[in-house]
Chains A and B, each alone.
Chain A
């Protein structure tokens, strides 16, 4: 370090006579530049011996655990009026339980791509699930970007947000009923951001259709297609908003489900089309979120399914037409009333709408053979308060009254912690 300084001083001295004809100011300026350069070099970290490690990606781990007190057995969880998704939608088990531990790794691959992998490690030893693993372009221009791999689909708003960043312990009922919890699929996403002052993006996803509402078809091409658009902007310095619309289309084949009430197994083949509209409004006084802020979020899902329903495919295998038009929505508000403390309320409602089952209409079977599909309007109230001592930790208490099961309201209490270790990526709007 000192040798460098001496060298620079010697260099500067050598340069000085050559500049002698210039005004003294010029000399000072040159010296100043050299001093600046040295200062800059001095603070650079010393060359590392193990250069391979220097390129290690950002690693993060999310730990979460919950204590649940439920008035109904979570093993009997169902959403009456809706085809069971066979996904992971039930509340956590009663008592203490460890949630999924998330392990995230991300880094720029090179000057063109960024890679991200997020794995969920199941607490009961049932293995590791890849939640997301995708590469993303960095260098495309004109507003284009491409994602490839497994990623959360741009269906609605909250589906793209990782569980640790949700404002409530569990997801809205619309995600449980229409997306089987959370929809991540393998494929390609192309997105374009318009060159406008008002934010506008348009995008399309072509995916395999590996899970509900698709049925993982063994076929070439795309098993599911999703188109989406977002519009957003600011209203003054204190308010920001975003709206979104998406349309997800797939053609499930032999999508099987087990009726949780009768135990009968059934399967559906046909088409499933899902519209999702979302809106988010965030308020903070003059955009300063430190003391108080408010977030209002809502989504509306509408699904149309038509095709054939087969009763007991392994046994009697009776098949006839099936058509349903179903919808649901939720609205939630979360208010930070002082630093570190937030309160929130969410209201969920689903409408099983009109479902026509050919086997029942023809008299071959009765409605009692399809108990979970009987018309119903599930609803849920949830209220929470959470405390975040830093941006890396959060403790939450949530109360909910869940009327997903007809005639069996579930009073739920969750006490949850979520902490993040290591690198902490930026959160989307």
Chain B
């Protein structure tokens, strides 16, 4: 009992913030911080160094989930291996699917690669489409509006603050997108190989061309035979760049790079994936800088 009191006294989650936001991925944590300012207390369940498909349902995450007022996740079954468990174990009725405290970002954007047939022999495909929507800034803008409204709904007293911050973000973001699109003009039509289908939205936004994946099937780690095939393919029709994310094992990309002479680039998967990707703005600045570098 004394231990319990001790824990309650010293380890309690600070209660002064109006809305506790539990973000499954850093991009949504960063966005919630942008829109909520000091009215929210935000935690991210994962980092850009972690594969969001494979996260342990750790006790610390259950404890954070219990304190959450709003859960923001990519959805489209990205978190199917751990989020449902956190939700049922937390004993927190405010954030269950269907309640205002639960927001799946991918529901509010146009999803790519929605499979027409579902079969596990095709690898780890998501019935709802590719879940890695954060790599297209236009998706971030769409989710921002929904998220601001949700914050306003949950914390009506500060609704005006959320809306004005959303307007300000919207404006700055639109300007940034215009800048990025101009900057990325040389990337249009550029062929690339990516490790996982993690940057599909980025590729679609910039009009690049994906000509191969290091993974033989989505979610299946690269195999030697598949990499050798890619080496042959690159001899026929070389890509300009090979990209892998901040959580991928760089070995496969380096192997193909050495064999084919095509430069390989690590791209931050989300906010926090590189030194420059400190927030959402820095994230896209860095993505473009890294993609453009090998073309110069």
Q: Could you mark each residue 382-399 of chain A with 1 if its beta carbon is under 8 Å from any beta carbon of chain B, else 0? A: 000000011110000000
Q: Known contacts A138-B88, A141-B91: does B120 contact A288 (CB below 8 Å)?
A: no
Of A198, A390, A428, the residue contacting B219 (CB under 8 A) is A390
Whether a CB of chain A sits under 8 angstroms from the CB of B185 is: no
Q: Is the CB of A143 within 8 A of B92?
A: yes
CB distance from A390 to the nearest CB of B (A): 6
Chain B residues lying within 8 Å of A191, measured Cβ to Cβ, are 91
Whether a CB of chain A sits under 8 angstroms from the CB of B8 is: yes
Chain B residues lying within 8 Å of A424, measured Cβ to Cβ, are 80-81
Chain B residues lying within 8 Å of A88, measured Cβ to Cβ, are none
Chain B residues lying within 8 Å of A429, measured Cβ to Cβ, are 56-59
Chain A residues lying within 8 Å of B57, measured Cβ to Cβ, are 426-429
Q: A40–B55 Cα gap in the complex (Å)?
A: 29
Q: A237–B13 Cα gap in the complex (Å)?
A: 19
Q: A424–B120 Cα gap in the complex (Å)?
A: 12
Q: A114–B84 Cα gap in the complex (Å)?
A: 11
Bin chain A's interface residue count.
35 or more
Of A40, A139, A196, A428, the residue contacting B7 (CB under 8 A) is A196
Of B49, B66, B94, B220, the residue contacting A195 (CB under 8 A) is B66
Of B49, B60, B85, B110, the residue contacting A428 (CB under 8 A) is B85
Chain A residues lying within 8 Å of B49, measured Cβ to Cβ, are 237, 286-288
CB distance from B127 to the nearest CB of A (A): 10
Of A114, A143, A233, A234, the residue contacting B90 (CB under 8 A) is A143
Q: Could you mark each residue 42-78 of chain A with 1 if its beta carbon is under 8 Å from any beta carbon of chain B, else 0? A: 1100000000000000000000000000000000000
Q: Is the CB of A143 within 8 A of B142?
A: no
Chain B residues lying within 8 Å of A339, measured Cβ to Cβ, are 221, 249
Q: Is the CB of A144 within 8 A of B91?
A: yes
Q: Is the CB of B93 within 8 A of A194?
A: no
Of B7, B58, B88, B129, the residue contacting A232 (CB under 8 A) is B58
Task: Select the residue from A142, A196, A232 with max chain B CB neighbours within 10 A.
Answer: A196
Whether a CB of chain B sits under 8 angstroms from the CB of A129 is: no
Whether a CB of chain B sits under 8 angstroms from the CB of A95 is: no
CB distance from A184 to the nearest CB of B (A): 18
Q: A410–B248 Cα gap in the complex (Å)?
A: 43
Of A39, A142, A288, A389, the residue contacting B91 (CB under 8 A) is A142
CB distance from B231 to the nearest CB of A (A): 20
Chain B residues lying within 8 Å of A282, measured Cβ to Cβ, are 56, 58
Of B58, B92, B108, the residue contacting A141 (CB under 8 A) is B92
Q: Is the CB of A143 within 8 A of B66?
A: yes
- Name B40-96 residues within 8 Å CB distance of A: 46-47, 49-51, 54-60, 62-64, 66-67, 80-85, 88-94, 96
Q: Is the CB of A427 within 8 A of B11?
A: no
Q: Is the CB of A196 within 8 A of B63?
A: yes
Whether a CB of chain B sits under 8 angstroms from the CB of A240 is: yes
Q: Known contacts A194-B7, A290-B248: does B81 contact A426 (CB below 8 Å)?
A: yes
Q: A36–B67 Cα gap in the complex (Å)?
A: 32
Q: Known contacts A43-B111, A237-B47: does B12 contact A193 (CB below 8 Å)?
A: no
Chain A residues lying within 8 Å of B111, measured Cβ to Cβ, are 43
Of B96, B114, B123, B249, the residue contacting A139 (CB under 8 A) is B96
Whether a CB of chain B sits under 8 angstroms from the CB of A136 is: yes
Whether a CB of chain B sits under 8 angstroms from the CB of A242 is: yes
Whether a CB of chain A sits under 8 angstroms from the CB of B255 is: no
Q: Could you mark each residue 217-254 of chain A with 1 if its beta carbon is under 8 Å from any beta carbon of chain B, else 0? A: 00000000000001111100100111000000000000
Q: Is the CB of A287 within 8 A of B89?
A: no
Question: Which residue of chain A has the shortest Cβ distance to B219 in the bound complex?
Answer: A390
Q: Is the CB of A426 within 8 A of B58?
A: no
Q: A45–B9 Cα gap in the complex (Å)?
A: 50
Whether a CB of chain A sits under 8 angstroms from the CB of B181 is: no
Q: Is the CB of B89 within 8 A of A145?
A: yes
Q: A404–B247 Cα gap in the complex (Å)?
A: 44
Q: Could you mark each residue 179-214 of chain A with 1 if its beta carbon is under 8 Å from any beta carbon of chain B, else 0? A: 000000000000111111111100000000000000
Q: A102–B172 Cα gap in the complex (Å)?
A: 54
Q: Is the CB of B54 within 8 A of A193?
A: no
Whether a CB of chain A sits under 8 angstroms from the CB of B124 is: yes
CB distance from A135 to the nearest CB of B (A): 11
Question: Which residue of chain A has the shortest Cβ distance to B49 in the bound complex?
Answer: A286
Whether a CB of chain B sits under 8 angstroms from the CB of A289 is: yes
Q: Is the CB of A426 within 8 A of B82?
A: yes
CB distance from B82 to the nearest CB of A (A): 5
Q: Is the CB of A234 within 8 A of B220?
A: no
Task: Select the residue from B47, B57, B59, B81 with max chain A CB neighbours within 10 A.
Answer: B59
CB distance from B61 to the nearest CB of A (A): 9
Whether a CB of chain B sits under 8 angstroms from the CB of A314 is: no
Question: Which residue of chain B has the shortest Cβ distance to A421 in the bound complex?
Answer: B120
Chain B residues lying within 8 Å of A426, measured Cβ to Cβ, are 57, 80-85
Q: Could you mark each residue 227-251 of chain B with 1 if its beta carbon is under 8 Å from any beta carbon of chain A, else 0? A: 0000000000000000000011100
Q: A288–B13 Cα gap in the complex (Å)?
A: 26
Q: Is the CB of B60 within 8 A of A193?
A: no
Q: Known contacts A145-B91, A233-B60: does B142 contact A36 (CB below 8 Å)?
A: yes
Chain A residues lying within 8 Å of B221, measured Cβ to Cβ, are 290, 339-340
CB distance from A206 to the nearest CB of B (A): 18
Whether a CB of chain B sits under 8 angstroms from the CB of A291 is: yes
Q: Is the CB of A198 within 8 A of B88?
A: no
Chain A residues lying within 8 Å of B81, measured Cβ to Cβ, are 391, 424, 426-427
Chain A residues lying within 8 Å of B88, measured Cβ to Cβ, are 114, 136, 138, 145
Whether a CB of chain B sits under 8 angstroms from the CB of A425 is: yes
Chain A residues lying within 8 Å of B47, measured Cβ to Cβ, are 237, 286-287
Chain B residues lying within 8 Å of A340, measured Cβ to Cβ, are 221
Q: Which 6 A-B pairs have the closest CB atoms?
A: A232-B59, A199-B59, A139-B93, A426-B85, A339-B221, A199-B63
The residues of A with any CB-CB pair to B shorter than 8 Å are 36, 39-40, 42-43, 111, 114, 136, 138-145, 191-200, 230-234, 237, 240-242, 282, 284, 286-291, 339-340, 389-392, 424-429
Q: A36-B108, A191-B91 are in contact. List 20 more A-B contacts (CB 8 A).
A: A36-B142, A136-B88, A141-B92, A143-B66, A194-B7, A195-B67, A196-B12, A198-B60, A198-B63, A199-B62, A232-B59, A233-B59, A234-B58, A284-B56, A287-B47, A288-B50, A391-B219, A424-B80, A424-B81, A428-B57
Sampled A-B contacts (27; CB under 8 Å)? A36-B142, A39-B110, A40-B108, A43-B129, A136-B88, A138-B88, A141-B92, A145-B88, A192-B91, A193-B89, A196-B11, A197-B63, A198-B60, A199-B62, A233-B63, A240-B58, A240-B59, A240-B60, A287-B55, A288-B49, A289-B54, A290-B51, A290-B247, A290-B249, A389-B220, A390-B219, A426-B81
